[in-house]
Structure 1
Amino acid sequence: MTDSSTGTSAGDNRVLDGLIAGYRRFRDSGWTPHRERWARLSEGQQPEVMIVACSDSRVDPSQIFDVDPGEIFVVRNVAALVPPFETSPGHHGVSAALEFAVQVLKVKEIVVMGHGMCGGCKAALTQELHGTEPGEGGFIADWISMLDEARAPVAAEFGTSGRPAEREMEQAAVRVSIENLMSFPCVRHKVKNGELTLRGTFFAISDGVLHLMDQKTGEFAPVA
């Protein structure tokens, strides 16, 4: 029997059971031994870093950077994109989170983390979702259209398929987000005053290597 409101089969709780089992491990090893830290966190957060990462389940910033709760403020979305500053009506989730991190939390660094095998960047490169309706790929197509301008030189030099082209697109997306960050007045002001630093990174899933973007050239190199 299926619950039509949730789409789940009655009695089939394997996924929930797995989550509950993980929660119990967390209570035993992550919360109980560190009650003082959690007590401090209950009074507020003071992360120094904001990370913009992809929603991809394989690239959890907290795991990759091995940080404790309260150390990083994370926003995740398809392809780790930051939209340009705009004041048009709408629900600007990334912009709201960015504003909170910069103006309220006063983070010192914003890190954009792209990654290998990114489905959003691949779709931007192939344009396979172009023209689809919302609910059938249209929301994704509209979101990744932010990469259309950056796609053109990548497609011209590397084509639209294969890992070399995909990797170029994935790294180009990081550069787009860094550029869009600078379109926000609050970010631009703090960067120019030395109060805020923007960094681009790229995590290669296949070999687990983190790459750092050179702030002058925009090129990526493995972290030593």
Structure 2
Amino acid sequence: MVDLPDTLLAGYRNFMASDFADERMRYKELADQGQTPETMVIACCDSRAAPEIIFNTRPGEIFVLRNVANLIPPYEPDGEYHAASAALEFAVQSLKVKHIVVLGHGRCGGIKAALDTDSSPLSPGDFIGKWMSLLAPAAENVTSNTLMTQTERQTALERISIRFSLNNLRSFPCVDILEKKGRLSLHGAWFDISTGELWVMDSQTGDFIRPDTDEMPVQPESNETPAA
């Protein structure tokens, strides 16, 4: 008996009939030659903000790390288990990506949890609470601002979390060295689920700016001929 939800099986059938059929040769090349993405995207695991969909990427084009609230913890070579650090290490040291993008998004549940200090743990382990405590000082500052609405606090901390992760990325020696040599670039972006707007962080000021869509580059059409 095939033990998968029917929706996933139906989606897989559609994938094989359309996307995989259109990219058959590309998948074969990726299988034979391995992946060589130039960009790593650190995104939230929220099902509404998939970076592959937002950036309309093809197979093998971006290396994606997803976790609650798109956080990167500080560099801690303490012998413990560090999933985010392991993915970062592989992307930078093995894949040798040229860009790292921290992608936050609106209405983030992890950020909401960080702001709601009265909420009860979801389990005895309180894994989300522990994870979001990385942002505790920033969350306390935002929460204490009584002139902001709850929606404004949410958006503010979502964007602060992006700057937080970028700062922590630079605590990793491999990232810091390569960025200073000009071989690695760090970027921040924030996606609004409701409107589809993408706001990009200015690397000099830290402000989030919405690019002019008329000036954005357009991806060229693939010249690959679908396999029969």
Same fold (TM over 0.5): yes
Matches within 5 A, 1:1-224: 16-43=5-32, 44-129=34-119, 132=121, 135-136=123-124, 138-158=126-146, 162-224=150-212
Deviations 1:29-66 (A, max 9, x none): 11123221111110200000000000000000000000
Alpha-carbon distance change, 162 to 23 in structure 1, aligned in 2, over 3 angstroms = same
CA distance in 2, matches of 1:203, 1:137: 30
| Counterpart Cα distance in 1 of 2:14 and 2:149 | 42
Q: Note the alpha carbon deviations across 1:189-217, whole angstroms, 9 max, x for none.
A: 00000000000000011111000011122
Q: Secondary structure at the match of 1:114?
A: strand
Q: 2: CA distance between counterparts of 1:120 and 1:137?
A: 16
**Which segment is superposed worse, 136-145 or 39-48?**
136-145
For residue 31 of structure 2, what is the amino acid of its counterpart?
S
Could you state the TM-score of these two structures normalised by the residue count of structure 1?
0.88
Checking the alignment, whether the CA contact within 8 Å between 1:158 and 1:164 is kept in structure 2 is no
Partner Cα distance (1:63, 1:80) in 2: 16
How much does 1:160 deviate?
8.3
Quick one: distance in 1 between partners of 2:131 and 2:27? Answer: 36
With CA pairs under 8 Å and 6+ residues apart, which has the higher RCO, 1 or 2? 2
Q: Mind listing any 5+ residue stretches in structure 1 that lack a counterpart? A: 1-9
TM-score of the pair, normalised by structure 2: 0.87
Cα distance in 2 for residues equivalent to 1:80 and 1:147 = 11
For 1:6, the equivalent position in structure 2 comes to: none
Unaligned runs of 5+ in 2: 213-228
2:23 partner SS: helix
The one-letter amino acid paired with 1:185 is P
Q: CA 1:73–1:67 in structure 2 vs 1: closer, same or farther (change >3 Å)?
A: same
Please tell me the root mean square deviation across aligned C-alpha atoms, in Å: 2.0
Q: Distance in 2 between matches of 1:147 and 1:79?
A: 10
- How far the C-alpha of 1:16 sits from its partner, in A, is 1.0
Question: Secondary structure of the residue that 1:157 maps to in structure 2?
Answer: coil
Contact between 1:116 and 1:167, CA under 8 Å: does it hold in 2?
yes
State the distance in 1 between where 2:161 and 2:148 align: 15
Change in 2 beyond 3 A, CA 1:98/1:196:
same
Q: Tell me, what secondary structure is at the counterpart of 1:201?
A: strand
Q: Distance in 1 between matches of 2:209 and 2:126?
A: 34
Q: Say which is worse superposed, 26-35 or 153-162, in terms of deviation.
A: 153-162
How far did 1:156 drift?
Answer: 2.7
Cα distance change of structure 1 residues 52 and 158 upon mapping to structure 2, 3 Å threshold: farther
- Higher alpha-carbon deviation: 16-25 or 31-40: 31-40
2:42 aligned counterpart, secondary structure: strand
Q: Whole-Å Cα distance in 1 between the matches of residues 87 and 7 of structure 2?
A: 30
Q: Partner of 2:47: helix, strand, or coil?
A: coil
- The structural deviation recorded for 1:115 is 0.4
SS at match of 2:29: helix
